[in-house]
Amino acid sequence: KNQVEQSPQSLIILEGKNCTLQCNYTVSPFSNLRWYKQDTGRGPVSLTIMTFSENTKSNGRYTATLDADTKQSSLHITASQLSDSASYICVVSARTGRRALTFGSGTRLQVQP
Amino acid sequence: DAGVTQSPTHLIKTRGQQVTLRCSPKSGHDTVSWYQQALGQGPQFIFQYYEEEERQRGNFPDRFSGHQFPNYSSELNVNALLLGDSALYLCASRHTSGDNTGELFFGEGSRLTVL
C-alpha cells in the first residue's frame, strides 16, 4: 500500500530560526515528490517538485532534498519568517496505477515572533 | 490567467441534502481531480477526470460523484450529506503527462459545513 508519513506533526519555532521537515514514503514505482505549502483555509501552493535523479532543489529560503534509496525527503526552511506559518504537505506520485498521488497528512508549522 | 477557480467558497447544508461544487481548471489544463480535506488533515483523493471520464477514484462511497464538461470544467456532487462530509473540498488541475510529472495547481477550495 502506498503511504506517505510526515514528521513532526506540528512544530513551533522562533522567527529567524531554521527548521527541517521530514517525509518518508513507500510509493512505488516512484515518479516524483512534491512539497506544498498550505495556508489555513487556502489551497496548497507548490514549493518544489523533485524527480528520481534530483537530490536537492531550492526555492528561495526553502530547500528540499530527496534520497530515493531510503525513500526519504526533507524540506529545510532557512531564516524563518512569520509568513512561513502554514501546513507543509508532501505528495508522492507513482508512475502508474489508479492511485497515482499519495498525500501526507502535513506538518503544521507555527513561527512565533 | 485566473488559475484554478472554485465555487462556492463557503456553503452550509443540512443532513440528507445534496450539494454540487464547481471547478474551472487553469488554462491549458485538461485533468481535474477532487480532494476532501478535514480540519487538521491532509487532502484525501476523491477522484480524477480526464476527457470527460472518471479515470481514478479514491476510497469514497458512491454518494460522491462527478462530471467533467467539454471545456474541462468539473463538478463534484455529494448526495445524502452526512455530518462527516463537512470539510474543505479542493479541486486541482494539471496538464496530463504520461509519467504524472505535470505540476498540480490547486484552487482555494469550497468549505462545506453540514449541520
- Say how many C-beta atoms besides its own lie within 10 A of residue A38's C-beta: 22
Which of A101, A48, A28 lies closest to B43, judged by CA?
A101
The predicted pLDDT at position B99 comes to 54
Contact A89, A106 (CB under 8 A): yes
Strand, helix or coil for residue B101: coil
Q: What is the mean pLDDT of chain B?
A: 91
Asked whether the beta carbons of residue A99 and residue B41 sit closer than 8 angstroms, the reply is: no
The predicted pLDDT at position A29 comes to 86
Residue A3, classified by CB atoms within 10 Å of its CB into exposed (0-12), middle (13-18) or buried (19+), is exposed
List the single residue in B33, B58, B109 with the smallest CB-CB distance to A43: B109
pLDDT in tens, B73-84: 999 999 999 999
C-alpha cell at B114: 453540514
What is the C-alpha separation between B2 and B9, in angstroms, rounded?
A: 15
Query: What's the gap between Cα B40 and its chain centre?
Result: 18
Strand pairing report for A101-103 and B19-24 = unpaired
Strand pairing report for B10-13 and B110-114 = parallel
Contact B15, B83 (CB under 8 A): yes
The predicted pLDDT at position B96 comes to 75
Per-residue pLDDT, averaged over B55-68, amounts to 93
List the single residue in A43, A94, A105 with the smallest CB-CB distance to B42: A105
Asked whether the beta carbons of residue A99 and residue B88 sit closer than 8 angstroms, the reply is: no
Tell me the nearest-neighbour CA distance from A68 into chain B, angstroms.
16
Provide the number of CB pairs (under 8 Å) joining chain A to chain B. Answer: 62
Question: What are phi and psi for residue B42, nearest 5 degrees?
Answer: -80, 160
| Mutant choice from A33, A103, A107, A109 vs B, greatest count of B C-beta within 10 A | A103
Which residues, including other chains, have CB under 8 Å from residue B45's CB and lie 6 or more apart?
A: A99, A101, A103, B33, B34, B35, B56, B58
pLDDT in tens, B8-57: 999 999 999 999 999 999 998 999 999 999 988 888 889 999 999 998 88
What is the C-alpha separation between B43 and B37, in angstroms, rounded?
A: 4
CA dihedral A71, A59, B32, A54 (to 10 degrees): -40
The predicted pLDDT at position B76 comes to 98
Per-residue pLDDT, averaged over B90-94, amounts to 93
Q: Which residue has the higher pLDDT, A73 or B39?
A: A73
The predicted pLDDT at position B97 comes to 63
pLDDT at position A67 over 60: yes
A104 contact residues in B (CB cutoff 8 A): 42
pLDDT at position A99 over 50: no
pLDDT at position A35 over 60: yes
Which of B34, B92, B37 lies closest to B67, judged by CA?
B34
The predicted pLDDT at position B18 comes to 98
Q: What is the mean pLDDT of chain A?
A: 92
Nearest CA in chain A to B41: A105
pLDDT at position B1 over 70: no
